[in-house]
């Protein structure tokens, strides 16, 4: 089957929902701006694009009407370019990258833009009118609707202390602030109007984090400081076949080498990356010890630390330029950010293999393995 490559990747600045610089931006405009910038930077002929595959966790309101097709039209792409909106909640845009790679593998196109978008300012978490099936118990409904409680469940099951969560979160903020100060994020962030930088990272200290109240459970340990914030943002990766890369003399970032999804109990959804990563690594013929770059989504510090324990991974190895606790987590956009960032790090810092993985609300995990091009 034909190999698929991540040729380039861009994202918007990620900014806090409701109070951030992109809170008034329509998500279809936001996605269109990132797609337009990615295509322009790549230098490819837009007419060569087969499809725009765009992940979105809550595709309704301004994110409805098949936002992928809307964004393609707003971006000024040729009418011949299709658009498909994909929903696997937090894993939506990593799923989009996989679907693009799958289409390439079966000879159904050579060039795809795969990414995602979420305006958590414009469309609220869980959408405007969530309606869980009435046959479900209260516990089942809460496992689907309140992700913070699922993180509390993992903190309790794995005996992950508040101190450990806050310490990890402080490190994520420090990494993100250092990456921004050192201008290491310029290669991946395209300005949206006059918004040029991420708005979520915060200069803080351990004492400030330790002083925050629990956010989801009165006697809990999960706080706003050790969780990812509600965020607005968009991301996009250019995914191309090997033949197209060769014929057009492109320099890809990485080859997609493995992929997997998995399911788990919804009430511990944050452990999803464990099984998904194990499956993806096995399919790529690799072990965790052979991975040079790891981008794991920081939905909550508690869930990330639980995953690291089961995968026998040192948390210090993760997310070199900070993760979602610092950068933000615009749900539908995060998966492509993880894949794109892992690909960029292989090119920037060296190494042969990378793993991008994340948990998914409702009890799932998703993972992708990349090989340096």
Enzyme catalytic residues: 90, 329, 359
Residues 276 and 278: their CA atoms lie apart, in Å, by 6
Rounded Cα–Cα distance for residues 9 and 62 (Å):
24
136: DSSP letter = S
Q: How far is CA 347 from the centre of its chain?
A: 19
Main-chain phi, psi angles of 105, to 5 degrees: -60, -35
Q: Where are the beta strands (DSSP E) in 59-105?
A: 82-86
Residue 358, classed as helix, strand or coil, is strand
Distance in angstroms (rounded) separating the CA atoms of residues 292 and 158: 26
Question: DSSP assignment of 242-262, as one string?
Answer: HHHHHHTT---SEEEEEEEEE
How far apart CA 24 and CA 301 sit, in angstroms, is 29
Q: Which of 19, 7, 123, 149 is nearest to 63 (CA)?
A: 123
Q: Is 341 in contact with 4 (CB distance < 8 Å)?
A: no
* DSSP collapsed to 3 states, 164-175: HHHHHHHHHHHH
SS3 of residue 189 by DSSP: strand
Q: Please, are residues 325 and 173 in contact by the beta-carbon 8 Å criterion?
A: yes
| Distance from chain centroid for Cα 50 | 23
């Amino acid at each position: 089957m034909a190999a698929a490559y991540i040729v380039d990747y861009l994202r918007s600045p990620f900014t806090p929902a409701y109070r951030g610089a992109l809170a008034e931006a329509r998500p279809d405009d936001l996605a269109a701006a990132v797609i337009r910038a990615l295509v322009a930077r790549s230098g490819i002929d837009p007419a060569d694009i087969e499809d725009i595959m765009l992940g979105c966790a809550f595709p309704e309101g301004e994110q409805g009407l098949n936002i992928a097709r809307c964004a393609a039209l707003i971006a000024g792409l040729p009418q011949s370019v299709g658009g498909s909106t994909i929903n696997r909640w937090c894993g939506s845009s990593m799923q989009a990258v996989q679907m693009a790679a799958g289409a390439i593998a079966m000879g159904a196109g050579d060039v795809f833009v795969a990414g995602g978008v979420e305006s958590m300012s414009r469309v609220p978490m869980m959408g405007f009118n969530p309606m869980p099936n009435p046959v479900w118990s209260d516990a089942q409904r809460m496992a689907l609707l309140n992700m913070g409680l699922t993180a509390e469940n993992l903190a309790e099951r794995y005996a992950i202390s508040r101190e450990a969560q806050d310490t990890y979160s402080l490190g994520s903020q420090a990494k993100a602030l250092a990456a921004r100060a050192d201008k290491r994020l310029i290669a991946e962030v395209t300005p949206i109007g006059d918004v040029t930088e991420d708005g979520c990272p915060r200069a803080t200290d351990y004492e400030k984090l330790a002083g925050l109240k629990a956010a989801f459970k009165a006697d809990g340990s999960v706080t706003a400081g050790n969780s990812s914030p509600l965020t607005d943002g968009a991301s996009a990766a250019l995914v191309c076949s090997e033949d197209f890369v060769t014929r057009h003399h492109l320099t890809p970032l990485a080859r997609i080498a493995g992929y997997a999804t998995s399911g788990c109990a919804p009430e511990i959804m944050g452990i999803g990356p464990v099984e998904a990563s194990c499956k993806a690594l096995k399919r790529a013929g690799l072990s965790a010890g052979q991975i040079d770059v790891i981008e794991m989504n920081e939905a909550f510090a508690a869930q990330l630390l639980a995953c690291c324990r089961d995968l026998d991974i040192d948390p210090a190895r993760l997310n070199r330029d900070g993760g979602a606790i610092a950068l933000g987590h615009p749900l539908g956009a995060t998966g492509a950010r993880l894949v794109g960032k892992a690909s960029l790090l292989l090119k920037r810092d060296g190494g042969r293999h990378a793993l991008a993985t994340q948990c998914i609300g409702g009890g799932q995990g998703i993972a992708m393995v990349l090989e340096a091009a």
